[in-house]
Structure formats: C-alpha cells, structure tokens
C-alpha cells in the first residue's frame, strides 16, 4: 500500500515545465492520489499570470500519461495575497471534498527554495515530503519571458506538449496584448537600470463607495490596458499620500465632489505591498476608502489615465473579478470585508 492516501501539490504552473512534471511523477510513486492545486484562479491575464486555471490544467493534463491522469485531481484555488486565513480555509475545504475519509494519511509536497515557500509551513497537521530540486531550479518566469519575447524553442525545459500548446496560443489577441505589455515594461525597466538599488514606487489609490456602488475606472494604457481598477497613481515628491489619492481620483474620474468633501469622507486607510503586484517594479499601494453619503451617485467623466469611469454595483462585483488589473479586486474585497 502507498504511504499516503493523498499528496497535495500547490503551484501556479505559469506555465508547467519539466521540473513540475518530474515532481508530480516522483510523488505519484508514494501516493494513491495527488491533489494538484492550481493557484491564481480567476485572476486577470497578466505578465505574471498569463494563463487561466483551465489552460494550465489542460497543459498539465496533456503532459501526463493516461495512467498518471487517473491518479491526479486538478483543483483551482484563488490567491491569498492579503488574506491567508481565507486561503487556508478554501484549500482545506477542497482537500476534504476530495479526500474526506483518510485525512490522517495526507501529505504535502514541495521544495523550500526561498521565502516564497513559506506556505509549506502552514499545514502542521500534514506530513511534509520534500521534493528534490528538479531541472536545476528552473523557473516558470524564464519560460514566460521567452514566450513573451518570441525566443522560446522546443529545446527549452518544458514538455513538448506544453511547447506546442504555447505556440498555438501565441497568436490570440490576449497573447499579443501581453507581449506588447512585456515589451513596454522591459523598456520602462531600462530607464532605471543605472540606479544603485531597484526603485520602489509609491501609489495613492482611491476605493470609493456610494449607495451600494463602487467607483471603477478602465485603464487606458498598459499595464492592464482595458482592465478595471481603482483610481490612483504615483505619489508626487511634494505631496502627502492622502492628497495623492484624492488628486488622482479627481483627475481620472472627474467626480463631481469637491476636495474638502472627499477628504471628509475617508473612512479607512491601508497599505498593500505584495512584491509582485506590479510588473514595472515594486509598487506599494496606500489605499483610502472613501464612503460618500450623497443623495445620488455623483457624475463622472473619465480623463487622464482612464478610458472609462463607472459606478458598478457592489453586489455584482464578483462577476467581473477576472477583469481587474493586478491585485485591485483583492484589495477591494479585503478593505470592504474589514470595514
């Protein structure tokens, strides 16, 4: 009998590479079943997460034999970013849904390569089975960058089935848009290449609610062109961060509320600093929650970096979670749940 009834493998697989497949095959030798959790579920397409969870599950599936596929269950899961308790709850509930009877024989696999592997220590009730470092620590980031730049070949360390899949996808509109965004981001990074330390950017963002609606913009330019976001932008060197959020809100949405009323309506303030939240570099968001008590929704007129400014019903926000730039949806939900 196999040592484990189920082994849990958590990853983003953006995209899957030979190291991922070697890990799965090694683990399958010691378990009756594998639960492979596919992270970044329902995230917008971006340079860090270009593929949907369905696409990543398909790439993994076509890279396995029929016998291996019968022992592997793919389970999409949302990212945590700012709410680890919610993420742990979701993951454990899905484990129980797929392995309810023999919880004592569950293990979790992985390789503790650096601080990004912290999540492996969050499950003391499951035995940890450390995997070897396959493919010399190959990173999916390398594969993505080659795909975006058009230099990926069938000699790179990915299954041939994945290479063929990526070649098939590269001419789709979303893929072309991401490749253009990659080019622009790389050019942007060159402007800071001579600095002694990597730059850290600061942004003031405005989460505005009024009459059970939230104020959203659509970005007019990359990164995240066409995606929903909160109004906000870079901090000027001579302004307080609170002023930055209000200034950007007025500039991008043309909201018909004066500065003093906006300032008085601020109810909460939080800092969001996920290191991967922005492709151009480290971007720290200082997000202000504006709670407007107006008799009707204030009029808007998009300008500056926004192609559109709209009031969107809060009750329907989950319907468009995949259309938000970066981590804006997660920030919004985190602030609203704590307010």
d(CA 1, CA 32): 8
The reported pLDDT for the residue numbered 314 is: 98
**Quick one: pLDDT band at residue 115, thresholds 50, 70, 90?**
low
Token pair recorded at residue 182:
């990659």
Write out the CATH class of domain 6-169.
alpha beta
**Quick one: pLDDT band at residue 104, thresholds 50, 70, 90?**
low
Tokens 């969107």 belong to: 312
Residue ranges of the domains in the chain?
Answer: 6-169, 200-338
Span 311-328, mean pLDDT?
97
The reported pLDDT for the residue numbered 57 is: 98
For 264-275, the pLDDT digits (tens) are: 999 999 999 999
The reported pLDDT for the residue numbered 58 is: 98
Token pair recorded at residue 176:
């072309």
Write out the CATH class of domain 200-338.
alpha beta
DSSP 302: -
Token pair recorded at residue 145:
């960058």
Q: Are 38 and 53 in contact, with CB atoms under 8 Å apart? A: yes
138 has a pLDDT exceeding 90: no
The reported pLDDT for the residue numbered 61 is: 98
Number of C-alpha atoms within 13 angstroms, CB side, residue 221? Answer: 7
Give how far Cα 91 sits from Cα of 69, 79, 284, 298, Å: 21, 10, 28, 40
* Secondary structure tally for the chain: helices H, strands E: 10, 12
Q: Are 36 and 76 in contact, with CB atoms under 8 Å apart? A: no
Helix (H) or strand (E) holding 312: strand 306-313
The reported pLDDT for the residue numbered 54 is: 98
**Active site (annotated) includes residue 308:** yes
Pairing between β-strand 200-210 and β-strand 282-292 as defined by DSSP bridges: parallel
d(CA 81, CA 78): 9
Residues 6+ apart with CB under 8 A from 257: 265, 292, 294, 298
d(CA 282, CA 104): 41
Span 234-242, mean pLDDT?
96
Pairing between β-strand 228-229 and β-strand 127-130 as defined by DSSP bridges: unpaired
Could you check whether the bond before residue 326 is cis, i.e. omega within 30 degrees of 0? Answer: no
The reported pLDDT for the residue numbered 2 is: 81
The structure's pTM equals 0.92
Cα–Cα nearest to 13, from 180, 228, 165, 171: 165
252 has a pLDDT exceeding 60: yes
d(CA 12, CA 81): 14
Query: Which of 32, 127, 308, 322 is labelled catalytic?
Result: 308
**Quick one: pLDDT band at residue 77, thresholds 50, 70, 90?**
very high
């Amino acid at each position: 009998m196999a040592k484990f009834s189920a082994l849990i493998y958590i990853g983003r697989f953006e995209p899957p590479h030979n190291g991922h497949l070697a890990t799965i095959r090694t683990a399958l030798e010691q378990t009756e079943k594998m639960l492979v959790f596919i992270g970044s579920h329902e995230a917008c397409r971006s340079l860090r997460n270009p593929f949907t969870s369905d696409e990543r599950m398909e790439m993994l599936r076509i890279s396995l034999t029929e016998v291996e596929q019968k022992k592997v269950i793919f389970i999409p899961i949302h990212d945590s970013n700012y709410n680890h308790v919610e993420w742990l709850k979701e993951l454990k509930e899905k484990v129980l849904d797929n392995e309810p009877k023999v919880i004592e024989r569950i293990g979790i696999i992985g390789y503790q390569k650096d601080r990004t592997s912290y999540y492996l220590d969050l499950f003391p009730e499951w035995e940890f089975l450390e995997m070897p470092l396959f493919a010399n620590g190959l990173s999916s980031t390398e594969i993505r960058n080659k795909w975006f730049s058009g230099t990926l070949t069938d000699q790179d360390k990915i299954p041939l089935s994945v290479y063929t899949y990526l070649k098939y996808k590269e001419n789709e509109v979303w893929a072309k848009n991401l490749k253009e965004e990659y080019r622009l981001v790389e050019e942007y990074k060159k402007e800071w290449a001579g600095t002694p330390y990597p730059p850290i950017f600061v942004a003031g963002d405005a989460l505005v609610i009024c009459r059970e609606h939230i104020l959203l913009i659509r970005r007019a330019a990359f990164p995240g062109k066409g995606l929903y976001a909160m109004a906000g932008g870079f901090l000027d060197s001579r302004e307080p961060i609170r002023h930055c959020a209000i200034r950007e809100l007025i500039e991008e949405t043309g909201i018909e509320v004066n500065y003093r009323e906006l300032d008085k309506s601020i109810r909460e303030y939080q800092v969001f600093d996920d290191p991967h939240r922005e492709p151009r570099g480290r971007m720290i968001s200082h997000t202000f929650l504006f709670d407007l008590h107006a008799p009707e929704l204030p009029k808007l007129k998009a300008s500056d970096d926004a192609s559109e400014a709209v009031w969107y019903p809060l009750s329907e926000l989950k319907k468009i979670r995949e259309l938000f730039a970066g981590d804006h949806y997660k920030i919004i939900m985190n602030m609203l749940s704590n307010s």
